[in-house]
Structure 1
Amino acid sequence: MINIIIVSEKMAKPKTLGIFESLGMVLALILVPVVLTLLFITPQQVIKTQGVKAILPPHLRGAMLSTQSHLDAYAKQIGELQARILRLDAQNQRLSKLAGIKSSAEPINERTSVNEVIGQGGPLVKDAPLTEEDLRTTIEQMSADLDFRDEYQGKIEAKLLLKSVLSEMLPNSSPVDAAYSSSSYGWRIDPMSGHRAFHEGLDFPAASGTPVYAAADGIVSTAAQTSDYGNLLKIDHGSGLETRYAHNSRLLVKAGERVIKGQKVALIGSTGRSTGPHLHYEIRLNGNPLDPREYLRNHS
């Protein structure tokens, strides 16, 4: 145990410092000379250009640089999200006009934040940089805005396709006699990695062996086993339209076969990257995923 006793002519009696006060004084006596020494041996020009970081130990300096790099990464991500939002808004406005949707239904009037639309200003008072938590919250909000715009664009695409010459060949019937998971298309937490990932189809949970049906007339382009999709079936419906049926326990048709709408083409299973028996169903146009919910709703 350390006790420091201070004696002075001005004091009526000696003063004994406690353990915490004693430790604080010892640390001060050790650190002050170290800092002064660093100040003297560190070139003044380096201190002017690098500031306090110049006299910090390497591990503390590295921690500061690491924190700054995290903030820079967040700021870059925000910039990329802002650019994507602006591009989506421009695309959605053009698609809305083609689909005959009133401008009041466009996302810029529903979810666009005030900072993106309305001019603002005023004197700068108590300015402070954004914290890491502030940046993370901003990114989460902007990601939600992007999700909304993606969903809105899917609705417009569906309306345009239903009005187009492709309407007769659209895969608009359910591929299985079971309900789909309504939130499975779009951004979600991946059930295996635990990370946020985009899910390009609908999941229909059902018992193994449940029949899978062709959603529209077409020709089987792929009937094979893959690592991610498991036993995968692809049906080409023409003009770039394609449906995919994944994780099957068994495929009942082969590549090159012509199938008709409602024909039994596979049996549900849990092959490939799957946590349990279900059908993973996709609709694609020229390789790009479409939201199958929009086509099932328009058919019902």
Structure 2
Amino acid sequence: MNIILLNSKRGHSRTFSLPRFLPLIALGVLVALPVLVGVGAYWVSYRVAPPSYTDAVAERFQANLRAQADEVVELKRLSEEQIRALTLKLADAQARLTRLDALGERLVDVAGIDSDEFDFGAELAVGGPEPAESSAFTPPSFMAELDALTNTLERREQQLNILEDLLADRHLENETFLAGRPIVQGWMSSRFGRRTDPFSGKLAWHEGVDFAGKDGSDIVATAAGVVTYAGKRSGYGRLVEINHGNGISTRYGHAKDVLVKVGDIVRTGDVVARMGSSGRSTGPHVHYEVLKNGRQVNPHPYIYRARR
């Protein structure tokens, strides 16, 4: 290879001859130099800078893996314990539901209610259109059992609440049902209606029924109600008056002692007074009246009818 140099001032040229292998040497230098620089930089960084992966890093990574594995085992143990506890609670709830059904059926039988109206063994009648999202998530069978049990308990609760209301109404109706005599021991000494007045000897209208008996014997309420009068009243002596609702009231006159006060709630058969001869009376007895909408009516139909 020849190199020619030209001199513009003097107007002559000069030629230099180069060896033929010189371009190959230059090319080799240009290729080898970057490789050598890269290898040198790698060697320096490896010797001077600490390596990114060491035995300590590996040990720390393995320790994290072991801790995570222990946490998974503990979570599995806790989950199994919770599932066992839920299973026991589910079994207990099912047993309680069985007893609740038996109680409901017994109450229906005792109350004399049509079993078709309160069938504790039948499924709850429900329905509705299919949801738009038919691909909804389906819970596991255990959760489905819990949901079914919850729905059944809610249905039983509704049925028993309604049954309780019906029984309470029936019990209240039975308690306020007027029937029987206002005494425990004694006899009827004067009937309702026209009679000869024991003081004047003239015909008079008797607005109640008299029951004679032993002085101080019990006078009882013939139905449940609220005491609206308890004290002395002209002609009656010591009087107890009870409001039974639905426009029905009863009066118990000529008592020796009054055992209740206004506002007291009494039940059927409660002792409200002691038999005496207070007021316009010829001897120990109770003057018994039945009032309907404020007017005296014949007590005989109430006295002789059977109690519910």
Output the TM-score relative to the length of structure 2.
0.42
Output the TM-score relative to the length of structure 1.
0.43
Q: Could you say which structure has the larger radius of gyration?
A: 2
